[in-house]
Structure 1
Amino acid sequence: MTEPSNTSRRAAVVLNPIKPTTVDIRDLVSKISADEGWDEPLVLETTKEDPGHGMAQQALDEDVDLVIAAGGDGTVRCVAEELAGTNTPLGLLPLGTGNLLARNLDLDVDDPEGSVRVALTGTERRLDVVHVTVDRAMEAHVFLVMAGLGFDAAMMGDTRDDLKDKVGWLAYVDAGIRNLPGKPQRTKITIDGGKPIGRRLRSVMGGNCGKIMGGLEIFPGAKIDDGLLEIMTVAPHGTFGWLGVVAGLLRRGKGKDPSIEYFQCKSAVIETQVPQDIEIDGDYLGKGTHIAMRVEPNSLRVRMPYGKKDPAILTSPEP
Structure 2
Amino acid sequence: MATSAAGTRQRVAVIVNPIKKTDVDIRTLVDGICRDEGWDKPLWLETTEEDPGRGMARQALEAGVDLVIAAGGDGTVRCVAAELTGTDTPLGLLPLGTGNLLARNLDIPVDDPAAAISGALTGADRGIDVVHVTLDRALKGDVFLVMAGLGYDAALMGDTNDNLKDRVGWLAYVDAGVRNLPGKPVKSTIRLDGGKEISGYPRSVMGGNCGKIMGGLEIFPGARIDDGLLDIMTMAPKGRLGWLGVVAGLLRRGKGKGASVEYYQCKEAEIFTEIPQDFEVDGDHLGKVSHVAFRVDPSALKVRMPRGEKDPAILTDPEV
The TM-score bracket by the shorter chain reads: over 0.9
Q: How many residues align?
A: 317
Alignment correspondent of 1:93 = 94
Matches within 5 A, 1:247-262: 247-262=248-263
| SS of aligned partner of 1:21 | coil
| SS of aligned partner of 2:201 | strand
Alignment correspondent of 2:29 = 28
Please give the per-residue CA displacement for 1:197-247, whole angstroms capped at 9, x wherever unaligned: 211110000000000000001101100000000000010012210001001
Instruction: Determine if contact 1:220/1:253 at 8 Å carries over to the other structure.
Output: no
Matches within 5 A, 1:1-319: 3=1, 5=3, 6-319=7-320
Q: For 1:284 and 1:140, locate their aligned partners in 2 and report how far apart those are by CA, in whole Å.
A: 14
One-letter code of the match for 2:195? Answer: G
| SS of aligned partner of 1:96 | coil
Identify unmatched segments of 5+ residues in structure 1: none
* Aligned-pair Cα RMSD in Å: 0.9
Deviation at 1:256, TM superposition (A): 2.3
Q: For 2:216 and 2:72, locate their aligned partners in 1 and report how far apart those are by CA, in whole Å.
A: 21
One-letter code of the match for 1:17? Answer: P
Q: For 1:295 and 1:221, locate their aligned partners in 2 and report how far apart those are by CA, in whole Å.
A: 17
Identify unmatched segments of 5+ residues in structure 2: none
One-letter code of the match for 1:231? Answer: I
Q: For 1:256 and 1:112, locate their aligned partners in 2 and report how far apart those are by CA, in whole Å.
A: 45
Instruction: Determine if contact 1:189/1:197 at 8 Å carries over to the other structure.
Output: yes
Q: TM-score, with normalisation over the residues of structure 1?
A: 0.98
Q: TM-score, with normalisation over the residues of structure 2?
A: 0.98
Instruction: Determine if contact 2:274/2:290 at 8 Å carries over to the other structure.
Output: yes
Q: For 2:257 and 2:174, locate their aligned partners in 1 and report how far apart those are by CA, in whole Å.
A: 27
Deviation at 1:196, TM superposition (A): 2.4
One-letter code of the match for 2:234? Answer: T
Q: For 2:258 and 2:89, locate their aligned partners in 1 and report how far apart those are by CA, in whole Å.
A: 44
Deviation at 1:4, TM superposition (A): 5.3
One-letter code of the match for 1:170? Answer: L
Please give the per-residue CA displacement for 1:90-109, whole angstroms capped at 9, x wherever unaligned: 00000000000000000110
| SS of aligned partner of 2:187 | strand
Percent of pairs with identical residues? 71
Deviation at 1:258, TM superposition (A): 2.8
Q: For 1:285 and 1:195, locate their aligned partners in 2 and report how far apart those are by CA, in whole Å.
A: 27
